[in-house]
Structure 1
Amino acid sequence: MRWEDGLFILAFIGINLALLAWILLALGAQRYHQLTRLEHRKLLEADCNTLPTVSVMVPAHNEQEVIEDTVHALAAQDYPQERFEIIVVNDASTDSTGPLLDALAARYPQLKVLHIPRGVGGKGKSRTLNLGLPHARGEVIAVYDADNTPEPETLRLLVQTLRSDARLVAVNGKVRTRNYAASWLTRFINLEFMYFQWIFQGGRWYWLRLSTLMGTNYVIWRSYLTALGGFDEKSLVDDTEMSFRLLSAGRRVRWVPFATTWEQEPDTLRVWFKQRVRWSKGNFYVTFKYLPQALLRPYPIGVELLHFVLNFLVFFPALIMSTLILVLGLLGIAQVTLPGPFTTLWVMAYLVYVAQMSFVISLEQPGARNYLLGALSYFSYAQLFIPVSIAALRDYVADTVLKREVRWVKTARTKEKP
């Protein structure tokens, strides 16, 4: 067998294994959508008089462009005010974040501002949350990024869902892109977030009762967070690492689509690339940290880790091999000689991708432009994850071999148009 034929077979198998899994997840997402519509109506009518106390924690490092809108949105939550506080941890900011927060604290009595000095702060989101946790008085801890504007009923719906099932220890709501119209990149990110949450979060929960935290717009029982020792300060993805720790303790994390926050996404490729490399490096860290447990506990750790393995160790390598074969073929360097209806199968696989993307668009933001961008995303935006994965693996291996300290790369914010 020629080497290009062997490479093509590996790429074909890897891509279609992932595609098969995504088809099953999409079917589960469709069913989950129907179930949560009924649940949403019941929660809106539920009694709010016995809700637990909640401490909303917001880590903030150089967030002057967005922090005011975030505090306004959090203060406007329709949660009982006597059982609700907002704690913003000003993490050694060098811009106007501190003074802006002090002015807001004079306006909102439920707002508490913690100023972390330079030298102590500025070391990542996990450390910032750990510094703020001792100051929280709530039975439930809610976490929001500093660029989030949750809808008024969001916090209440999250807590009501958490309290409705004794097996749940944390509940994550939906995250939507607030500045989706800022650039072509934010429009694609908008579609990506729709796709990921419905297919991978909703679909996994329906079939497997598995889901992971997303870093913002989630609530967690404080008792479990304290028992687990807070957040892992070595991890670049505090949400994913915490999810695996909760799963390893036999607890469940659920994603719900009816509790929505809106956040700012990177509108330049440079900022986006740095953010996604950090996320991917963090996922590599989590994968290798929990791999021994996955081998001993196939469910839930093994099954959840399989999701990461399928994406990072099967699908993306297969995507790279597929792209390599295509480029070499166009250059006349290598030609696949295998007989078979591979072109037809590829077209069918692409149509499945478009169908899945169209499904989530129909749920969230239907429109001709989004349907067109969804179809084009496979050839454009999705391909950007190849260099992201390569850069993340390179940096992760270098950090491990050279024993370098892992550095947190802050996602830069921009001033949005009204």
Structure 2
Amino acid sequence: MSLLVIVFTIFWSIAIAGMLMNVVLLALRVPPRPQGPAAARPQDIFLLMPMHDEEAIVQAAVERFTRLQWSLAYGRLHLVVVEDGSADSTNDLLTQAAKRHPNIHVLYRRPDVGGRGKGRALNTALAYIRHHALHDPARTVVGVLDADGEISAADLQQVADYFAGDPAIAMVQTGVAVLGTDHWLARVQDFEFSVLNALTQNLRSHLGDVAGSGNGQFFRLTALARIQWGTTLLEDFEISTRLLLAGYPTAYLMTARVRQEPTLTLRTYFR
């Protein structure tokens, strides 16, 4: 037997064993926490949404938020949009939306400092929340949604219940799915998120090392007292790693999902 065949056999044996382990762990997935007592329920949920040249989807994002706003069993929902130095009409559209909806807060970054990474925009929003949190930081939840991200009221309620059921939890990462799967590349991305990513995150959840996935990250504000997003391209993974190194427990909630628009070109998919 040649060395190449031996290496090939070992590689695929390890790969298959890893997949089988994930399947077993998926069957034994960590169940959602029971709903906690009223005294532990989040009082405020802030959704952070950076926008840069997003004039085409501002109205849709605002409409999704207003539908969510009155759908939770408890807690107040706020949308904090960071207008990250856009060159189009995003700024004007957000200003109009904030005038109509008091729970929409718009933060403006100048064009000369905006558009330099999602982490910087999120830290701008975090600084605002730290100074404007209305109640107990331990009962304040901070979530991240992309401008095209969508979460149902039922799934957002699951997230709130998870924080209420475990006062020690610092971060909850939801599952991620794709909106619309008519295009073949959209189906590829949906499989990647709904199957491959879900299996990996479920394994990490059992190991106590859940990775942030951008869309659908939710944090207890007390965990962000001294920790914030980095400036790398993987700012979501970076902040979850910082939480891990600081000893904060994290969890993956696969029964809740954030849905996002797929990319439909190979160039943007591999970028």
Do they fold alike, i.e. is TM over 0.5? yes
Which of the residues 48, 51, 71 maps onto 2:62?
Answer: 71
Kindly state the Cα deviation for residue 81 of structure 1 after the two structures are TM-superposed.
Answer: 8.2
Please name the residue that 2:49 is paired with.
Answer: 58
| Residues 110, 178 of structure 1: alpha-carbon distance in 2 compared, 3 angstrom cutoff | same
Aligned positions of 1:378-397 closer than 5 A:
none
1:158–1:218 CA contact under 8 A, matched in 2: no
Which of the residues 116, 119, 131 maps onto 2:112?
Answer: 119
Please name the residue that 2:214 is paired with.
Answer: 215
Kindly state the Cα deviation for residue 208 of structure 1 after the two structures are TM-superposed.
Answer: 2.3
Q: Normalization by structure 2: what TM-score? A: 0.87
| Residues 46, 194 of structure 1: alpha-carbon distance in 2 compared, 3 angstrom cutoff | farther
- What is the CA–CA distance in structure 2 between the aligned matches of 1:55 and 1:128, rounded to whole Å? 15
Please name the residue that 1:240 is paired with.
Answer: 237
Q: Extract unaligned runs of 5+ from structure 1.
A: 275-418
3-state SS of the aligned residue for 1:232?
coil
| Residues 22, 85 of structure 1: alpha-carbon distance in 2 compared, 3 angstrom cutoff | same
Aligned positions of 1:90-109 closer than 5 A:
90-109=83-102
- What is the CA–CA distance in structure 2 between the aligned matches of 1:91 and 1:116, rounded to whole Å? 5
Q: Does 1:256 align with 2:253?
A: yes
- What is the CA–CA distance in structure 1 between the aligned matches of 2:267 and 2:109, rounded to whole Å? 28
Kindly state the Cα deviation for residue 27 of structure 1 after the two structures are TM-superposed.
Answer: 0.7
- What is the CA–CA distance in structure 2 between the aligned matches of 1:30 and 1:82, rounded to whole Å? 32
Could you give the per-residue CA deviations for residues 282-340 of structure 1, whole angstroms, max 9, x where no partner exists?
xxxxxxxxxxxxxxxxxxxxxxxxxxxxxxxxxxxxxxxxxxxxxxxxxxxxxxxxxxx
- What is the CA–CA distance in structure 2 between the aligned matches of 1:134 and 1:108, rounded to whole Å? 21
Kindly state the Cα deviation for residue 23 of structure 1 after the two structures are TM-superposed.
Answer: 1.0
**Quick check: which one's strand share is greater?**
2
Q: How many residues of Structure 1 are paired with residues of Structure 2 in the alignment?
A: 261
- What is the CA–CA distance in structure 2 between the aligned matches of 1:48 and 1:179, rounded to whole Å? 39
2:176–2:193 CA contact under 8 A, matched in 1: yes
Instruction: Give, as a single letter, the amino acid of the residue that structure 2 aligns with 1:98.
Output: N
- What is the CA–CA distance in structure 1 between the aligned matches of 2:23 and 2:74, rounded to whole Å? 39
Instruction: Give, as a single letter, the amino acid of the residue that structure 1 aligns with 2:177.
Output: R
Q: Normalization by structure 1: what TM-score? A: 0.58
Instruction: Give, as a single letter, the amino acid of the residue that structure 2 aligns with 1:147.
Output: D
2:37–2:164 CA contact under 8 A, matched in 1: no
Instruction: Give, as a single letter, the amino acid of the residue that structure 1 aligns with 2:56.
Output: E
Could you give the per-residue CA deviations for residues 226-278 of structure 1, whole angstroms, max 9, x where no partner exists?
312x1111x1111111111111111221111232221101011111111xxxx
2:41–2:160 CA contact under 8 A, matched in 1: no
Please name the residue that 1:204 is paired with.
Answer: 204
Could you give the per-residue CA deviations for residues 100-140 of structure 1, whole angstroms, max 9, x where no partner exists?
21222222210011121111111000011112222113432
Please name the residue that 1:231 is paired with.
Answer: 229
- What is the CA–CA distance in structure 1 between the aligned matches of 2:74 and 2:162, rounded to whole Å? 19
2:45–2:75 CA contact under 8 A, matched in 1: no
- What is the CA–CA distance in structure 2 between the aligned matches of 1:71 and 1:155, rounded to whole Å? 16
Looking at CA atoms only, which structure, 1 or 2, has the larger radius of gyration?
Answer: 1
Instruction: Give, as a single letter, the amino acid of the residue that structure 1 aligns with 2:87.
Output: T
| Residues 48, 101 of structure 1: alpha-carbon distance in 2 compared, 3 angstrom cutoff | farther
- What is the CA–CA distance in structure 2 between the aligned matches of 1:46 and 1:191, rounded to whole Å? 37
Instruction: Give, as a single letter, the amino acid of the residue that structure 1 aligns with 2:19.
Output: W
Q: Does 1:271 align with 2:268?
A: yes
**Quick check: which one's helix share is greater?**
1
Superposed CA RMSD in Å reads 2.4
Instruction: Give, as a single letter, the amino acid of the residue that structure 2 aligns with 1:266.
Output: T
3-state SS of the aligned residue for 1:261?
strand
Identity %: 25
1:73–1:152 CA contact under 8 A, matched in 2: no
1:213–1:239 CA contact under 8 A, matched in 2: yes
- What is the CA–CA distance in structure 2 between the aligned matches of 1:166 and 1:48, rounded to whole Å? 11
3-state SS of the aligned residue for 1:223?
helix
2:171–2:218 CA contact under 8 A, matched in 1: yes
Could you give the per-residue CA deviations for residues 9-43 of structure 1, whole angstroms, max 9, x where no partner exists?
333323321321221111110222xx63xx48x54
Q: Extract unaligned runs of 5+ from structure 2.
A: 134-139
2:223–2:248 CA contact under 8 A, matched in 1: no
Please name the residue that 2:137 is paired with.
Answer: none
